[in-house]
Amino acid sequence: MASRKFRVHIENLRAQAPVFHITPERYEQVASRNRDCAERIEVSIGWDGDIYDAAIAEADALIGWRFPRDDLTRRAPALKWIHLTGAGVEHVMPLDWLPPTVVLTNNRGVHADKAGEYVAMAVLALNTRLPFYASNKVARRWEREFASTVTGKTIVIVGVGNMGGAGARRCKAMGMHVIGVRASGAPAEHVDEMVKPEQLAEVLPRADFLLVTVPLTPQTRNLIGREQLEMLRPSCGVINIARAAVMDYDALFEKLQRREISGAILDVFEPEPLPPDSPAWNVENVIMTPHVSSDDSERYAINTVELFFSNFRRFVSGLPLVNRVDPMRQY
């Protein structure tokens, strides 16, 4: 690599929203601020596989989301590093396609600031009963429910990574009591109490709000199932910005219809896009957003390239890369 530039191929998908596209203009915007990296890199930018085969044959690194993964050892003999432009990796599991000499990283952290704002919005909306009033508007019902301030109320955050941590910071700033749930049980900033998933039954009955931000893995699938939802108080509001399969939506919708949960704000569904005949459209006391909670329209692609350049400095210095995907944990 000392005798030539480090070759990076960026693979874009037109089917994705423009927020995710790493265009030449966006790449150059970041490169102009990181000339020490950019001068050592030769970049190619493709769309929907138009130059993929030729580019990957000589690439040292690949940046993308969905791309042909078969026989990479033969097709990409120089490949050393793949960076996924999203945080979730369930769409590329299992990693039996990944050559043993190639490092896989993801976009954890890029979403944090926007996700934190969404969490603050969702908590305030649930506290003010906006899902309830949105349903009443459609039904032309005039009902009033009064609410107290969120100060002093308790939020249980299941998954205290970058997004959950950003949510914790926002909630703590509003004077809330923050309980975190994470596999390690390790303490985190802005979290008053931290427990492990096996202690969910101890903390869910205390929740005024439940926020779910965990990655989807075999361990987290249906982590918030019917049994866990039954532990919530009727006054509790639910927020999911993780993956739909982490939560039993059928059980959640039943409780919402019976007003056994005060409301929900959901950003993730299965499948996506949500089909027009999905029963979710008819559930009262829920506000749905189409998987947009954490993707900054102005900064997402920019932050992705910034993260790559930061990791590139580590790569050329022989340091471990941040956000390396653990095949066992699947994130």
Chain segment 172-224, per-residue pLDDT in tens = 999 999 999 999 999 999 999 999 999 999 999 999 999 999 999 999 999 99
137 and 228 assigned to the same domain: yes
Q: Are 118 and 143 in contact (CB under 8 A)?
A: no
272, 313, 314, 324: the active-site residue = 272
**Is residue 205 a part of any domain in this protein?**
yes
85 and 150 assigned to the same domain: no
**Is residue 134 a part of any domain in this protein?**
yes
142 and 276 assigned to the same domain: yes
**Is residue 324 a part of any domain in this protein?**
no
**Is residue 330 a part of any domain in this protein?**
no
* Phi/psi-derived region of residue 291, left when phi > 0, alpha when psi is between -120 and 50, beta in every other case: left
Structural tokens at position 149: 């301030």
Q: Are 228 and 204 in contact (CB under 8 A)?
A: yes
**Element (H or E) spanning 115, and its range?**
helix 112-127
Is 117 among the catalytic positions? no
Q: Are 319 and 205 in contact (CB under 8 A)?
A: no
79 and 66 assigned to the same domain: yes
108, 111, 129, 243: the active-site residue = 243
Contacts 24+ apart (CB under 8 A), 149-152: 149/175, 150/123, 150/124, 150/174, 150/175, 150/176, 150/208, 151/175, 151/176, 152/176, 152/177
Over residues 221-239, the pLDDT tens digits come to: 999 999 999 999 999 999 9
* pLDDT class of 329 with cuts at 50, 70, 90: confident
274 and 305 assigned to the same domain: no
Cβ–Cβ contacts within 10 Å for residue 184, how many? Answer: 9
**Is residue 321 a part of any domain in this protein?**
no
Asked if the model's pLDDT at residue 74 lies above 70, the reply is: yes
pLDDT for the residue 4: 84
Is 21 among the catalytic positions? no
pLDDT for the residue 3: 65
144 and 281 assigned to the same domain: yes
d(CA 88, CA 105): 11
What number is the average pLDDT over the span 47-57? 98
58 and 125 assigned to the same domain: no
**Is residue 138 a part of any domain in this protein?**
yes
Asked if the model's pLDDT at residue 328 lies above 90, the reply is: no
What number is the average pLDDT over the span 148-170? 97
**Is residue 161 a part of any domain in this protein?**
yes
190 and 83 assigned to the same domain: no
Question: What pairs with residue 178 in β-bridges?
Answer: 155
**Domain limits for position 24:** 6-110+296-316
* pLDDT class of 153 with cuts at 50, 70, 90: very high
**Is residue 204 a part of any domain in this protein?**
yes
Average pLDDT, the chain: 96
Structural tokens at position 260: 């056994």
The one-letter amino acid at 222: N
7, 21, 83, 291: the active-site residue = 291
57 and 195 assigned to the same domain: no
Q: Give the 3-state secondary structure of residue 240.
A: strand
Is 272 among the catalytic positions? yes
Query: What phi, psi does 10 have (nearest 5°)?
Result: -105, 125
Over residues 256-282, the pLDDT tens digits come to: 999 999 999 999 999 999 999 999 999
CATH of the domain at 312: 3.40.50.720
Asked if the model's pLDDT at residue 1 lies above 60, the reply is: no
Percent of the chain predicted with pLDDT > 90: 97
200 and 275 assigned to the same domain: yes
251 and 129 assigned to the same domain: yes
Q: Are 266 and 288 in contact (CB under 8 A)?
A: yes
* pLDDT class of 331 with cuts at 50, 70, 90: confident
Question: What pairs with residue 168 in β-bridges?
Answer: none
For the entire predicted model, the pTM comes to 0.93
d(CA 46, CA 296): 22
pLDDT for the residue 2: 55
Q: In what order do the strands lie in the sheet with 177-181?
A: 193-195, 177-181, 154-158, 209-212, 237-240, 263-266, 286-288
Number of domains in the chain: 2
165 and 192 assigned to the same domain: yes
